[in-house]
A and B are shown apart, each in its own frame.
Chain A
Amino acid sequence: MSDSSWIWGSVESGLLYAFMALGVYITFRILDFPDLTVDGSFTTGAAITGVMITNGYSPIMATFAGFAGGLVAGACTGLLHTKGKINGLMSGILMMIALYSINLRILGKPNVSIYGMDSIFTSVKPLIIVPIIAIIVLGLLNRFLYSDLGLALRATGDNERMIRSFGANTDFTKIVGISLSNGLVALSGALIAQQSSFAAIDGGVGMIVIGLASVIIGEAVFGARNVIHHTISVVLGSIIYRIVVALALRVEWLEASDMKLITAIIVIIALVLPSTRRVYKQKKMAKKRSAEILHVGQKKTMGGEV
C-alpha cells in the first residue's frame, strides 16, 4: 500500500457505506425506531444485485432492484410493528432472521462472485461516480424530508400524538420511513457488492452498529443544526469511521477480524461520552447559577425577578 492510497480507499468505502448510514439515521434519529432489519436488508441488496449481474442484467437495473428489495424488506418490518403491534426491536430481529433464509434463496449459495463482470464501476472509477450518487441521494432525501409527507414523518418520531391530531396516519409514515431506510441500506449493499465483486450471505453482519457509529461520529464532529446539516454530517461520519478503522488496522498487533470489536468500542465510547459530559456540564452550570442567584439575592436582599 502506498503512502496515501489507504486514505482514498477509506473515503471510497466511507461513501459507499454512507447510504447505509443514512438509512440508519432515518430510523434511529428521525423515527426514533431502533431497526435491526439493516443486517439482513444490506445483504438483500447485495444478493439481488449480484445475482442479477451474473444473469446478465444491466448493472444500473440490478442496483435499482437491490434498492427496491430493501424497500420491500423495510415495509415488512414496518407492517409487523404497526399493524402486527410487535415491539420495534422484535420486528426488526424477526425480519433480520427471515431475511437470512430469503437471502440464501436469492443467492442460491453462500457466495456469488461477479468478478470480471460488468458493474457500474466498470467504466467509471468508484471515487468519481460514488460522490455523484451521494450528492443525488442527499438531494432527493432532503427534498423528501422537507415535503409535507417528510415533515409528517419527522414529526412521527418527534411527537407522534401531535402529528396524529393533525391528521397524519402515523402507521403509514412509520412504514414509509422504515421502508426508505432499508432501501438506502440495500442500495449500499448493492454498491458494495459491485465494488468488491462478490455478494456473501454474511456481508451484512454488524452493519447496524457500523451505521450507528457513523451517525454518532458525524454528529459529534460536524454537528446537526438542521436536517440538511445532519444528513451531510452522517455521510462525513461514515467516511471518518472508515479512516479510523483503517488507522486502527495499521496498528501491528490488531487483525482484520478485530474490526467488529473496534466498531463496538467506538460506538460505546460515542454513546457513553456525551451523556457523562452532559451530566457533568449540567452540574457545573447548576452550581454556577446557584452561586450567581445567591450572590444577587444577598446584594438586593430580595428573591427572584418579576
Chain B
Amino acid sequence: MLQLNHVAKLFNPATPDEKIALFDIQLHMKPGDFVTVIGSNGAGKSTLMNIISGVMKPDTGNVRIDNEDVSHLPEYRRSQWIGRVFQDPMAGTAPRMTIEENLAMAYARGKQRGLSLGVKASKRILFREHLSRLGIGLEQRLHAKVGMLSGGERQALSLLMATFTNPQILLLDEHTAALDPARAELITRLTESIVREMNLTTLMVTHNMEQAIRLGNRLIMMDGGRIILDIDEERKKDLTVERLLGEFEQISGHKLSDDRLVLG
C-alpha cells in the first residue's frame, strides 16, 4: 500500500548546519497495517510524515502509494489518498469557519472544487451522523465556529475530517500530544475504533511508549534518521516498555531521549 524506497533527506545541505534528517529509509506497509513510530528528538519522525504527505520532497529515493510513484506530486495532489492529523489541535481545522463548513471542505477531498454549494441539506444529514459517532455532542453545534471549540473537540473533529472520505493512508503525527490525559485518552479511543472500523492503513507517531505498544500491529523505532528497530505483530504481543527501552539502548548505543516521552 505504502512504500518508501531508499529515501534520504538532508537539511541545510553543504552548510555547517547540515543535518541528516532521513537516511536510506526503507518502509513497506501492507493494506490495513497500523504502524506506530517512536524515537528520540530529531530522529526524523516528523520528516518521515512530511515526506509521505508531500510537504517535503525526498533528496533521493521514492514514495509509492498503491504501487504508483507519487514522489513528484505536490501535497495537495497526494491528499486524495492521504488523511493527516497534526499534533497541534489548531492545525487541522479552520478556526474562523463553522463545523459544517470544515466538514464540507474535508468532504471535497479528492474532488474537483467547483461552484456548487459547499454545505447542502443532504450533506448536513451525513455530517450530523458522523459527528454523533464521536459522542461529544458536536452534532448539535454545526453552525459553531471551530475556533470556539476546545483542543480536544478540535482534535476529534480533525480526526473525523481526516478519515471520513476513506483515505488509503492515515498519518497521525503525535495527535494526542498536546492534549490533557483525559482528552488524549478519548482521542486515542476514537482513533482505534475509526481505524479498525474502516480498516485504514495507518502510520502513527507517538511519544507515548505504552500507547505505541498497545496500538497497532507493528512498531518501528527511529534514531538519527534511520529505522533502527522494526517489530512485527508476533513480537509486539509480548513487548514491554522496559524491554523496548533496553533494545533501543542496545542498538543505538545511547539512551532514548525525548523530553516529552511518556512511559505509560
Contacts and interface: CB of A to CB of B under 8 A. Distances in A.
Interface of A: 143-144, 146-152, 154-155, 158-159, 161-170, 226
Interface stretch (B16-24, B32-40, B95-103): B95-103
For the complex of A and B, list the 6 residue pairs with the smallest distance between their C-beta atoms, beginning with the closest: A167-B79, A158-B94, A148-B113, A151-B118, A155-B94, A159-B94
Interface residues on B, range: 35 or more
Interface in B78-128: 79-80, 82, 84, 86, 90-98, 101, 104-106, 108-111, 113-119
Given A151-B105, A167-B76, 15 more contacts: A146-B119, A147-B115, A147-B117, A148-B114, A148-B115, A149-B113, A151-B101, A152-B108, A158-B95, A161-B91, A162-B93, A162-B94, A163-B105, A165-B92, A166-B161
Contacts of A144: 115
A144 B106 CA distance: 18
Contacts of B104: 148, 151
B76 A168 contact: yes
B77 interface: yes
Given A146-B118, A148-B104, A166 B109 contact: yes
5 contacts: A151-B108, A152-B108, A166-B105, A167-B111, A168-B113
B84 A165 contact: yes
Contacts of A161: 86, 91
A163 B94 contact: yes
A164 to B, nearest CB: 5
Contacts, number: 90
Contacts of A146: 117-119
B115 to A, nearest CB: 5
Given A155-B97, A167-B80, A162 B114 contact: no
B75 A165 contact: yes
Nearest to A145: B118
Contacts of A147: 114-118
B94 A149 contact: no
B97 A158 contact: yes
Contact of B75 (A148, A152, A159, A164): A164
A152 to B, nearest CB: 5
Nearest to A165: B84
